[in-house]
Each structure stands twice: as structure tokens, then as C-alpha cells.
Structure 1
Amino acid sequence: MRSNEQSPAQDLPKQTRQQDFLDLTVQEQTRILQQQQDILNRVAQGHDAISICEQICLFGELLVPNSAASIMLFDEAGLTLNVFAAPSVPEEVVRLLNGLRPGPGAGSCGNAVYRQQPVYVRNTLTDSRWQDIRHLAEAFNICACWSVPIRAKNGKVLGSFALSSFEHRLPNAFHQKLLELAANLVSIVLVQQRTNDQLFLAGKVFENSMDGILITDPSRQIISVNRAFSDITGYPAEEVIGKNPSLLSSGRQDSEFYNNMSHAIRTAGSWRGEIWNKRKDGKHFPIWLSINGIYDKNGNITHYLGIFSDISEIKRLDHIIWKQANFDYVTGLPNRNMFHERLDQDLKKAQRKGEQVAIFFIDLDHFKEINDSWGHGMGDLLLKEAAQRLRESVRETDTVARLGGDEFTVIINDFENERSIGRIAQNILDKLAMPFYLEHEMAYISASIGITLFPDDAASIEALLKNADHAMYAAKNEGRNRFHYFTPAMQAAAELRRRIANDLRTAIAGNQLQLYYQPIVDLASGSIHKAEALLRWRHPEKGFISPEVFVPIAEETRMIVEIGDWVFRQAAKQVAVWQAAYHRDFQISVNKSPVQFLIENRAKSSWIEYLREHQLGEHSIVVEITESLLLDANDRVTKRLLEFRDAGIEVAIDDFGTGYSSLSYLKKFDIDYLKIDKSFVHNITPQSNDMVLCDAIISMAHRLGIKVIAEGVETEAQRDLLAAAGCDYAQGYYFSRPISAPEFEASLLDGASAEDSRPFQNGSEKRPDADSLKPSTSLEEA
């Protein structure tokens, strides 16, 4: 027995190892050449690869009697072999051979691929090269097997061609040439099949592409177009074949454009970009075009390929998106984004030319009342009309923008002098003060304008906008319907607000916040079992800072949520003490900012939980809110008010009568108290309009089951008039200033009785001197 390690060639007789085609008989050569010619004809005719490969197998079987031919190819991963064609091999054998992994014991095919050389096995039952699949040889009487690799043009092994014999034998020179020829033919078939597939796919892509495609010869005459070309341009293929693509020219691009295009194609081999073309019907349309030169192996251009897509819809949508991103949808004015872009350009231009720029910040006065009274639809109509009036008040070279809500800005470029700016501002005020005819309604508004100048006031956009904003608020504070120039004092005030905001962040942790209490007197009995908790801030350096100063800052910075929660807990602790020591029905009112309602937080639930945990009875706490909160009440506000009601927390409307309302909310919400604003109480006399209003408020409230508290009572006469009108409670300096909890307790211990309705005043007829406790009344004093 031969060694299993012998090379494949050693299994052959010496005289047949180096046989050439010329060693074959004429008859053998003729048969091979005829079969080769027949197969190549089928390849040229585009026959199916499998059918051709099966013919190759049958040809091999015909020339080698008592044998079966098979072709195995690698899978896509290049790891295992599968049968591609084997017309005479039983299906069961095919199934067992599929997934064959090449290796030293993987049979003739597995070895030929593994070693990348022909493998001729005379006896499959004893040869070690068949040890892994010997069961196939035994089961199907495979005695011998000859296999050669199938290679691609680059030499890569694609698979194997094999002849399995049912008798023990080795191939002669003719057989070897037959195997070599068959492997080469299979390689040709596979390569051609891949080429055909690629050509078929390319043809399908060409014809079914959504992009228009045209191919020209080197002289730029069109030789082929696809269906999309005709769909996009309106030209059928027969009308453009042989013509120059210039028939599509719209005339929008000049000769320099086309010269640059030609230069790019000559030097770089391609060009791509946006261009306007003309359809057959004469309409212009934009396309995105790519042009590539096609080169032969010598580097000469043989064709030009143009691929284009109609981008009309993309440009339309881009314009819509750009407009939505840069213009206000209600007024059509530039929005905040476009305003910033234009202002940046105007400032750079002014800086180059040494010119000035004026920025107006315009806020419509009382616009909210229009929305509240007539709805947002009418409000939008007013905004549109206001925008038109603003446009008419300035030049076309100036910019009018809407920043949002009822806020507008104007950029005035290259103006003559400051007086001309004043004239423009006054013209705007006059136009906006004219009546607005909104469908069947007539509305009146005014405006407050803040003005800042570049480069005098500031050099950056951010600083200029802050300046204009400060100046606008100054105009509002001076009574509205006016304009105000920015001054350095405003900047100082803004800086002071910033410092106060920073200091306020540490006020709670630093125990700087305190609660003072002002008694609420029962006018019928003179007894006191109510008080309003009032927030005070004793700054370690500045002393007392007025709530009028720091509360708006706390609201702007959203610190009011944390501060409000602290106020509630302090008041709840205090009411528990006073209920136990003085009156079991004692009640404390706390103010709740609208900002606390509008910001999502757990304060509302924790307040209720806190009352339950400390076993405080119902009606221990009153939450005071403003009319404006109810005018804008959304589902969140409504839900929280109902939660307070269900938990036994009563609700009072503070500063009642100063809002702009139909009072319909009194029917909607379960309100416990109305607090008459001190502006009505201050000048009350028996026959005054204020007395009439107070009497009307009291009467209306009682009919709705609501009790009334009068604020700002400072004289005995005011007290008596309110009591005679049936007012339930009163508070004010006539009874007591806001005082600390120990002072409040001391006064209660002194004995508050119904006989003396000023129990906290110790008999004094004068309003108490509270200079030591009086908070600052302005930001400057703070």
C-alpha cells in the first residue's frame, strides 16, 4: 500500500504526469474542442449558468464512462463548499456534501480546494484524504475521485470540479486535460454569469432609476437616456438622441458658469452642483446634476455620464422650513432668529462705515386684556394690524421683528440724529394708539418703547437688547404710552437686581428670611383669630429689603417655589402653636405666587401632606391668590385649587377689584374670601364712589356665600363705614403694622377684646412709627 502522505502526482504513471494537449489523439482533441466551442457558444448566447455547468458535467461523464461529475463552490463567507451542479449525483449525496469544510481529510474536492492543486484519489476506501467522508464512499460505491480547483482570473479558488468513478483508477493524460478544461470552462461561465448579472442589474438601475440619466459620446451628443429623463424633462428619447444637452439650458447660467463646469470635468473628471434647466414646455426647474467622464484603459474619454434629480420640491420645502424658522407665522415679520441675524449684519456694517444703529424694544400695553376679553383669535388680528402699522412707520431698509407675545423690535439704520429717532418713536406711539377695528369690535391699546443706541450704549447684541429692555420697563413704570432712552442708571439698577438675586439664593440657608404677621380683625366682634403671614428679608448688610423688590426677582428666577414652600411650613408651625395657646380656630393666610402654580413641583401635595402629618385641622390655612391667576386659570391651576379645597385649605382673592375680569370665575371656583384692595379703602367716605364700590363688592360676595376682608384700614372712620356696610373682616395700620411672632403673642396675652378693636395699638391714635421695621420701598434704597 502506498503511503498516505504521497503527493497527488505520485499516484500517476510517470509517463502521464507532464502530458500536454498535443499528446492527446486527434479524436480526443477534436471532441474536447467541439465541446468547448459548444459551451462557449452557450455562454455567449447568455444561457443560464447552472444549465451550462450541468452540460459540462454530462460532457465529462460521457468522456469518462462509469463516472459522475460534480461542481462545488464556496459559500458567500468562503468557508464551506456546496454543490452547484451535479446532474447525475443522487439528491441524498448532494444533501450530505453541502456544507463540506475543506481540509486534509475532506475528500478529493475538500483537498483540492484546501491544497489549491489537483487531487487524484485511486481508492477512496483506503486513502487518508477521504477519512472524514469515507462513509459516503462506502454508502454510494465511490471508488475513485479526481478533483481540480476552479479559479477566478485573479487566481482565487472558487470551488472544485470533480469526476467520481465507480471503479478504482487514476486519470490518464486525456482525463487530466478534460478536468482542466472543465474547470476553466466553469470559471468562464461563472465570470460571465456575474458579468451578465451586473449588466442586467445596471440596465434595470438605469431604466428604473428615479434620477434622470443621459449618456453622451465624447463630442457631447446624447446617445442614451432613461425613462426618468423623459419624465422629468418632458422630452421622449427619440427627440434628444443625437442632440446636445444644451437643449435643456434655461439661460439662467452665464457662459462663465459653463466654462467652469467644463474646466472641472477636464481637470478632475467630474462636476456636480445645482443648475436650472428648462422642460419641453418651457418651464424652468432646479436640478442637482453630476457629470462624470468615462475613460478607457488608455485614459481617453469615451463617454460622459450625467445624472440629475429634480429638486423643485426640496427647494420648496426648504423655503417653507427657512420661513418657519425665520419669520413669525402670525404677523409675517422676522422672528427672533432672523432679528438677531439682521442686527448682527447691521452692526458690522455700521462699524465699518462709522454709523449709528438704534434698537427699539416695543411692548404693547394692555394687550393681555384683549386676549382675555375677546380671545386669542382677536388678539392675533390686533397683532397683524400692529405689525402693519410698525412697517408703515419705518423705512424699507429698517427691520421690524416680532420676538414673541406682544413684544416687537425695530432696527433703525443710518439715522440723522437722535431727534429723528424720537420722531420715529412718537410716530409709532401715535399709530398704535389709534383704534383697532377687529371684525365687529373696536379696541384701543398703547405701547411702551425702550430705545438704545449703538455704539454709544453698548457694542454687543446681548448688551444692546438688555439696555432696550430696561428702557422699555422704565417707559412702562412712567405710565406707558411713551418711549424712554436707555441710561447708565438703568444698567446700575439691573446690576443691583442681579446682586440681589445672588444674595437671595443664600437667604433661606442663612436664616435671613422671617415671617411677620398682621392681625385680621372681626369687625362685628373685634376679636382676632386670623392673621396674614408677610415675608420679610433682613439682609446681613443691606438690612430689610422690601418684598416689592425681591419677590419679583424670586419669581423671575423661580426661587419663589422654594421660598413659598418655606413660608407655608413656617406659617403652619405657627398656626399650630397659636391654636393650642389662644384659639382653636386660629387661621393664618399665606400668599401664593402665580409662578408657584405654573411650575410643576410637589409643593402642592407636600403642603397637604404636611398639614395631615401635623394633625392641623381644616381651615387652619388660607391661600391668598391674585385675580390674574384665575383669569388665566388652566387645568393645572383648577386642579390644584380643588385639591386645596378638598384638603380644607381655604382660598382668598387678594387685591380684589383691581383686575380686568367679568368675575365669571367667582362662579367657577370655590372662593372663601375676597380681600378689598386698599386703593378702594384709602379714600372711602360716606358718599364716595369708593364707598359705592366697597358696598357693591360686599353685597355681591355675601350673595355668593363669600366673606370679605378689607385691606389698608388706617382710620376709625374707615373701620366704621366698612362695618356698617357689612364687611366681615379688616386689617391695616389702624389695628397693627405687621409684627414678629413674639410681638404678636405678647399683644394676644395683653388681651385682645371686642371692646377695643385696636388691641395691638396700645391705645395710640397714630399710625405706628415702623421705621425700624419698614422695608425698603425701592430698588435703589435696597
Structure 2
Amino acid sequence: MRKPIHVMIVEDERIVALHLRQQLARLGYDRTSVHSAGINALKAIETDAPDIILMDIRIDGDLDGIETAAGIPEHLMIPIIYLSAYSEDTTLERARKTRPYGFLLKPFSERELHATIQMALERREVELALRESQERLSLAMHAAQMSCWEVDVSTRKMHSTGLGKFIPGETHDAETITESWDGFLERVSSEDRDMVRKAFEYAVLNGEFYDIVFRGQSHDNSHQCWFRARGKSYINDRKGTQRIIGVMQDITDQRITNDKLRQAMTVFETTQDGILILDPDLNITSANRAYCQITGADPLTVTGTPPYMIVPEQFPPAFYQELFHTLRTRRHWHREIDTRDMSGNPISIVMQIIAVEDDDGVLTHFVAMISDRTAIRQAEQELHYLAQYDGLTGLPNRLLATDRLNRAIERCERTGAVVACLFLDLDDFKNINDTLGHAAGDQVLLIVSTRIKALTDRTDTIARLGGDEFLIVRENMHSQAAAGNLASQIIHELQKPFYIVGHELTLSASIGIALYPENAHSPQDLIRLADTAMYAAKDQGRRTYAFYKSEMTESATHYMTRSLELRRGLEKGELSLYYQPQVDAHTGEMTGAEALIRWNHPENGLLGPAEIIPVAEQSGLIVEIGQWVVEEACAQASRWQNEGQDPIRIAINVSVRQMRSPGFAKAVQSVLTDTGLDPKWLEIEVTESMIQDEDIMIDTLHELRAVGVSVAIDDFGTGYSCLRSIKSLPIERIKIDRAFINGIPQNTDDAALAEAMIAMARTLGLKVTAEGVETAAQRDFLRAQGCSELQGFLFSKPVPAEQLFAVTHHNAKIS
């Protein structure tokens, strides 16, 4: 049923208002309301807005009819028809500004009244429909973030609707905006402004459709936005005007989304991980390039089926039950898989499958990530290998050897069998590295490992512990003799000659043997005891083997204790030098003295070289102690001279390590300079074995001679010197070892040898000092053979520095 039309009458004359109400009733307008004052009418409108108002212009009260009409809210769109007996221009002008729907001059007929009311109501219906249509268009454009606009080409005025919320720089919310085209361009990003201007000019000249994308600031200038403008030029032939009409859309969100999609696609195509898009049944719908590279799959045929590494043929049913259960409950499945690529090559991958749901939580698809771990797995295997095997020989290292020895002990513990642990160390291997180089040394180690493996069983463990040390483990050893026989075979095999870089070489080895359960029960203890036994084998002359004995540990403990005490003694000044005089064989005058080391041990008293040198050699202190001896002997010689004593030659024994250390000659020269001792009063003593065809030693001898010190061969006759090598060396003196002096003159062999050595030295122009002279008969024999100098207890035992000259003066009569 149609709602009755509500007509409001605003009239201050009651008779007129009543008459008008009666007229309306006759015309069919049954619902009317009457108000005599404008303020009352406005209040009534707030609670019950009429469909139309008949407004008398001149009414009582503070507001006249025109002012009352102006106070009605515009959005209500209530038609106003003015009723008045006056039609002066000023009144009409005032009324026109309120945009009335009609104007009736009193008196008027019912027909005029009815026609005016109907036209006003129809006009209102049209305007309401238009407004609703505009609202719908505005809301649609707002939802699409669009605005419509037109530009008058001749005036360059721009009229836009809905542009205020989207045009950069615009802050008000007006539906319709009028501004200049150039003003609009100023708010376009400078990078795109010229493009937008050219599109406008092209549309003006050609009347073509245009579509451009440009940038501008957001309405609050907080960030940059993207806009898309589309339009076309139109010409009004009747008016002769040209307009450009179009729409503009804020595409910032769309642009951001497209950028993200483009980035995601770039990642999808360029990542090193394989990416699959799977449907809810795990069939591949899309695969990236990396997946095909990892698996070797054909990009043209990969879709439509599940990933081949999880097809039912690959795993038991329980695997798939767990896969689907995990995806259903946790939406994420992860597993490492060892499989093969399409070419059959083994690969190791990590596969993840992640469920993707829509906004309603409904599963739409899965994303699978495949990471290739093949290189990592290979690297892990290589690291595992390097952690347990020797990189040069490929033999197990100490870590793996200890583990295998432990397993052998566990097996033999159950059976009561014996495990033999052989610790092998090559003799003088350092010489090979020093003379032929480390590359040659590596070749030697490879030969050693090959020869040991050839002599051992498949169940034995052969390991390289480091350097030139090897370990051989054999379980179920029948007897101690069998272990010794194995060690003997290895030593014999290593002695066979071989060629390296053009040199024929032979090797010797020392082997220590420890047995389970006789000697120890843990792998660490067995290796340690076998190591101890190996050093015992070296002490026995090398090129042999030795079984571990408990006293060896006592000896090793003694050595360790002595080593620590010796280092402490060096630091605390417990070392000192004693001097044994060397006298002229004919005059008896002291010509020199040999410096001999002593150790004032806080508990064991005065210890000689026999307790010092071996410990120093093995502990590595020999170089440091040797340097101290050079410094102390030179300083003492200089002090004697400063005290007024006649200058004498000081002889110092040096070790192999000192001679091999770089810059030894320079170090000696530095000490001579610091102490002020003339180099001619210092003599360096070396043994024959130290200078046998070793270039480093020979070079050092020449460097020492260049410094000005003299060089002597100590213990001459006990080594393997040849006349040619002695003749070519910067030697000034030989010292005949006490072993040849003890038996003369009674032992004819010793006498002959001593006589020959003295004669040889005389021929080569060398001086001779005989050591160990203890009897007058020995002195007389050596003097008769032409020996230059004598040294021994006959003249003096080694004495402290402050006693040397007193002793020699006292014993001068012996000579």
C-alpha cells in the first residue's frame, strides 16, 4: 500500500491555513500538518520530515519563510513551494537562492495548487533516483579506488568526482573538485610528469583513447602511490568545445601485489631449492627449474603425477600413513630422503610439504620444497673420513685405531684371546725430510704403509698415528713369540732398498710391543705402553723391537721427572760449567780447557753430562742449554782475561740440533761480540757422525770458520770419517777418543791406531789432542809420537772456573 503524502503548511494566518488544508483534502492530500512559525516547522521536520512543504514567505516570528527554507537540511531533499501575495524582485531573488520547487501567487486555484504539488513531487522522485544512482556510482568507484574526471581543453580546467581521496596532495573529501590541469600535474611524480603531459597532448591532437600508469604522493604525503588513468577526447560540435573525459584508479595495492608476485616468481624460478605446487592429491601442478635440475626430471612431463621420490613403490604403506596423517594434523611434513635422480645417480634431499588453505580454512593445495643435500652429504662423508683416516696413506688415524683396538679388546675379553699392539717409529726419518724434502718423505711413508699392509692380515688394523709413527693391532695372537715374529718381519721388510727421487734408500724401524691382557686393559694404556717399549727399542740400538716391561714405565717416569727438573734447573740457575785443562804435550803449559756441563741438583747433588745430555736431547732443551753453554763459557773466558790470566782456548761441545738450527754461526758471533772475546780463543767440537755428507752441517762449519772460531772433531776414530771428507772440511784439530788411549802403550793395537791417527793428522796439517790421559806412560808414548796436546785426569779432573788456574799451576810438575 502506497504511503500517503505528507504535506506541511507553514502559514501564520489561521484562516488561510485552514482554507489551504481544506483545499488539499479535496485534492486527496489527506495527511497535512500546519505550523505558524518557522522555528516550529524546523523542529517538526527533525522528527517527522514531510514529503513537500507549502511555505508562506511572510510569517510571524524570528524567521520568515525564506529563512526557514534555508534552515532545512539539504540532504532531506524536501521540495519547497512558496506561497505569497507579493512578487517584488528582491523577494524573488532571495527565494531563488533556496532552490524552490515552485512559486504560487495568492490567490491561486486548486488546479494550480495540485499541478504545482504534483510537478514538485515528480521532480523530487527524479532527483532522489539520480542521487541514489550517483551514490551507487560513487560507492562502486570508491570500492574500485577510482575517480572520474574531465578536462576542458580550452580553459584547462579539471573537474573530478571522487578524486579527493586518491589524487596526490589532496586532503579534503569533496566529491567534486575543480582545479587547473597544470596544478594537477604538479602533484604527479616528477619522473612521470612529462609522460602524463604527453598523453594529454596526444589525446587533444588525435582524439585517441589513452591508458597510462604514473606515480604520485599519497593524500597525506606519507608515501608514494601508483595510479592508472584512462580516457578519451570528445568534441561538442554544437558548442564547439573539446573535453577529455576518463577515469583514474589507485593501483598501489595492485602494484604492490604484482611486485610481490613477480618477486615470488623470481624466487620460484631462480632459487637453488626445488619448489613444487601440488594439488590436494599430491599431484604436481607446477615445478620450478631447480627441481628439474636436482632430479633430472623433464619439465614437459613432470606435471600430473606425484613427485617420483614419494610414489608408493618407494616406501612401505606405513610411510604414506605417517605422511598423510602429519599433513592432516600438523599441515607440515619434513623428511630426509636418499634416492636417485632420473639418470640413476644417488642424491640426498630434504623434502618439506606444507599445506595451503583459503580464508575459510579449506585446503587448496600443497607446496613442496626440495633441498639438494648431496654435496653436503658428500662433504660430511669426506669430513668423517678425514676425522678417522690419515689423508696421506689412507690408513686409520689415532682416533679410529683407538676405537678398533677397544673393539678388539672387547671381543678378546669374551674369548680370553690376546691382543698385540705394535708401536712402530721410523729411525732417523727426519733426515729424509731435511735432505730430500717433505715430498720425498711423503713417498717414503706411502711405501712404508704399503709394505706393512702386505705383511698383515685383513683383520689387522694398521694405522698412522702421525709423523713417522704407525700402529699395528692384531687380535687372537697365539703367543708373545708370534708378536715378536711379526715385528721382526716388518723390520726386515722395511730394510729392503727402494728408490726415491733418484736416491737408493733403506729404512730401519724401532717397534715397541704391548699385550692385552698382560700389560694393560684399555686401548689408551696399550698404546702408551707400546710407545714406551718403542723408545726402549731405540735405546737398544734401533732396528729392533722390544716388549713392554714394567721397569720401562719407571724409566719413562724418571725421564719425565728429570725433564721437568732440568727445565726448572735451567730457569733457576742450577746449571754450571766445569773446566778440564788441555796442556802442551812438551812444555806442560795449559793451552786450553774443555767446558763440561754440571747440574747442581737440589736433591741428588752434582750431576754430570750423562744425566743431563740425554734428557736435554729428548726433551728438546738441548738447543736452549747449548746456547747457555756458549754464552757462559765465552763470558768466563773473557772474565779470566780481565782478571789478568793468560788467554787460553775454550773448547765447547755442540749438539746436532744446535748445528742444524738456522743462524747458529750468527748466534755464536753475537755472543763473542757481547762478551768481547776474540773468536780465536773459542773452539767448537763436533763428532764425526754429525758431518757425514750432511750439507747443512758442512755449511755451518764453514760459517763458524768464517766467524774466526776454530773447529775440532771430538771422539775421533769412533765414527766413519774418510780422509777425503776431513781434508775438505775447515777442521783445525782432531781429538783422539779415550777408547784408544786406555790400552797404550801395552795394547799394541791401540798403540798402532793412535800412532796412525797422529801421523795422519800431521800429514794433513791438523793438531791433535789426546783425551783420557791418566798415566805417565800414556803421556810419554803420545809425546814421543808427536801428539800436540794432552787432556785427562793425569793433569786435572774437571774443576769449577775459580779453581782452574790454581790446579794447573799446582800440577805443572806432572808434565
1:741 aligns with 2:801: yes
Match of 2:167 among 57, 61, 70: 57
User: Aligned letter for 2:167?
Assistant: C
Matches within 5 A, 1:294-373: 294-299=356-361, 301-347=363-409, 356-365=418-427, 367=429
User: Matched residues in 2 for 1:661 and 1:264: separation?
Assistant: 84
Q: Secondary structure at the match of 1:220?
A: coil
Q: TM-score, normalised by structure 1?
A: 0.66
Q: Name structure 2 gaps, 5 residues minimum.
A: 1-70, 78-127, 149-161, 198-216, 227-246
Match of 1:286 among 348, 361, 364: 348
Q: Displacement of 1:237 after TM fit?
A: 1.2
Q: Which residue of 2 aligns with 1:617?
A: 678
Residues 160-212 of structure 1: per-residue CA shift (max 9 Å, x gap): 99xxxxxxxxxxxxxxxxxxxx99x75xx333322221111110111112222
Q: Secondary structure at the match of 1:574?
A: helix
Q: Is the 8 A contact 1:211 1:307 kept in 2?
A: yes
User: Aligned letter for 2:653?
Assistant: N
Match of 2:307 among 245, 254, 272: 245
User: Aligned letter for 1:305?
Assistant: V
Q: Is the 8 A contact 1:218 1:302 kept in 2?
A: yes
1:202 aligns with 2:312: no
User: Matched residues in 2 for 1:278 and 1:254: separation?
Assistant: 17
Q: Is the 8 A contact 2:168 2:219 kept in 1?
A: no
Q: Which residue of 2 aligns with 1:9?
A: none
Q: Is the 8 A contact 2:423 2:471 kept in 1?
A: yes
User: Matched residues in 2 for 1:663 and 1:672: separation?
Assistant: 14
User: Matched residues in 2 for 1:660 and 1:293: separation?
Assistant: 85
Residues 425-457 of structure 1: per-residue CA shift (max 9 Å, x gap): 344344445555769876544432211234443
Q: Which residue of 1 aligns with 2:83?
A: none
Q: Secondary structure at the match of 2:561?
A: helix
Distance 1:595 1:196, change over 3 A: same
Q: Which residue of 1 aligns with 2:18?
A: none
Q: Displacement of 1:534 after TM fit?
A: 0.5
Comparing 383-392 with 651-660, greater Cα deviation is found at 651-660
Q: Displacement of 1:24 after TM fit?
A: 9.3
User: Matched residues in 2 for 1:253 and 1:373: separation?
Assistant: 61
Q: Is the 8 A contact 1:69 1:86 kept in 2?
A: no
User: Matched residues in 2 for 1:160 and 1:16: separation?
Assistant: 35
1:578 aligns with 2:662: no
Match of 1:66 among 164, 176, 179: 179
Distance 1:722 1:276, change over 3 A: farther
Q: Displacement of 1:640 after TM fit?
A: 7.7
User: Matched residues in 1 for 2:317 and 2:738: separation?
Assistant: 80
Q: Secondary structure at the match of 2:799?
A: coil
User: Matched residues in 1 for 2:476 and 2:592: separation?
Assistant: 63
Q: Is the 8 A contact 1:224 1:237 kept in 2?
A: no
Q: Displacement of 1:242 after TM fit?
A: 0.8
User: Matched residues in 1 for 2:479 and 2:707: separation?
Assistant: 64
User: Matched residues in 1 for 2:358 and 2:176: separation?
Assistant: 43
Residues 718-741 of structure 1: per-residue CA shift (max 9 Å, x gap): 667766777654534454432333
Q: Displacement of 1:327 after TM fit?
A: 3.1
Matches within 5 A, 1:494-509: 494-508=556-570
1:472 aligns with 2:585: no
Which protein has greater RCO, CA pairs closer than 8 Å, 6+ apart? 1
Q: Which residue of 2 aligns with 1:404?
A: 466
Comparing 351-360 with 547-556, greater Cα deviation is found at 351-360
Matches within 5 A, 1:206-285: 206-246=268-308, 265=327, 268-285=330-347
Q: Secondary structure at the match of 1:616?
A: coil
Q: Is the 8 A contact 1:249 1:277 kept in 2?
A: no
Q: Secondary structure at the match of 1:492?
A: helix
Q: Displacement of 1:400 after TM fit?
A: 0.8
Residues 229-284 of structure 1: per-residue CA shift (max 9 Å, x gap): 22233222112111221268898977766766666555554444543332333333
Q: Displacement of 1:227 after TM fit?
A: 1.4
Q: Secondary structure at the match of 2:805?
A: helix
User: Matched residues in 2 for 1:627 and 1:271: separation?
Assistant: 77
User: Matched residues in 2 for 1:288 and 1:380: separation?
Assistant: 41
Distance 1:291 1:707, change over 3 A: farther
Matches within 5 A, 1:547-586: 547-580=609-642, 584-586=646-648
Matches within 5 A, 1:111-150: none
User: Matched residues in 1 for 2:644 and 2:681: separation?
Assistant: 14
Q: Displacement of 1:31 after TM fit?
A: 6.2
User: Superposition RMSD on alpha carbons, in Å?
Assistant: 5.3
Q: Is the 8 A contact 2:761 2:767 kept in 1?
A: no
Distance 1:193 1:707, change over 3 A: farther
Matches within 5 A, 1:606-645: 608-625=669-686
Q: Is the 8 A contact 1:709 1:728 kept in 2?
A: yes
Q: Is the 8 A contact 2:580 2:594 kept in 1?
A: yes
Q: Displacement of 1:59 after TM fit?
A: 12
User: Matched residues in 2 for 1:668 and 1:288: separation?
Assistant: 72
User: Aligned letter for 2:806?
Assistant: A
Q: Displacement of 1:554 after TM fit?
A: 2.9
Comparing 254-263 with 735-744, greater Cα deviation is found at 254-263
User: Aligned letter for 1:621?
Assistant: L
Q: Displacement of 1:320 after TM fit?
A: 4.3
Q: Name structure 1 gaps, 5 residues minimum.
A: 1-12, 43-51, 74-81, 91-112, 114-146, 151-156, 162-181, 760-782
**Which is greater in Rg?**
2
Q: Is the 8 A contact 1:57 1:87 kept in 2?
A: no
Q: Which residue of 2 aligns with 1:447?
A: 509
User: Matched residues in 2 for 1:448 and 1:228: separation?
Assistant: 58
Distance 1:330 1:747, change over 3 A: same
Q: Which residue of 2 aligns with 1:121?
A: none
User: Matched residues in 2 for 1:384 and 1:720: separation?
Assistant: 58
User: Matched residues in 2 for 1:480 and 1:549: separation?
Assistant: 21
Q: Secondary structure at the match of 1:403?
A: strand
User: Matched residues in 2 for 1:298 and 1:260: separation?
Assistant: 26
User: Matched residues in 2 for 1:368 and 1:539: separation?
Assistant: 33
Q: Is the 8 A contact 1:69 1:89 kept in 2?
A: no
User: Matched residues in 2 for 1:214 and 1:706: separation?
Assistant: 91
Distance 1:716 1:749, change over 3 A: closer
Q: TM-score, normalised by structure 2?
A: 0.64
Matches within 5 A, 1:711-730: 711-713=771-773, 728-730=788-790
Distance 1:650 1:212, change over 3 A: farther
User: Matched residues in 1 for 2:164 and 2:770: separation?
Assistant: 108
Q: Secondary structure at the match of 2:596?
A: strand
Residues 564-586 of structure 1: per-residue CA shift (max 9 Å, x gap): 44433432232124335676441
Q: Which residue of 1 aligns with 2:31?
A: none
Q: Is the 8 A contact 1:149 1:160 kept in 2?
A: no
Residues 99-129 of structure 1: per-residue CA shift (max 9 Å, x gap): xxxxxxxxxxxxxx9xxxxxxxxxxxxxxxx
Equivalent pairs counted in the alignment come to: 639
Q: Displacement of 1:598 after TM fit?
A: 6.7
Distance 1:159 1:213, change over 3 A: closer
1:486 aligns with 2:548: yes
Q: Secondary structure at the match of 2:679?
A: coil
Q: Which residue of 2 aligns with 1:137?
A: none
Q: Which residue of 1 aligns with 2:25?
A: none
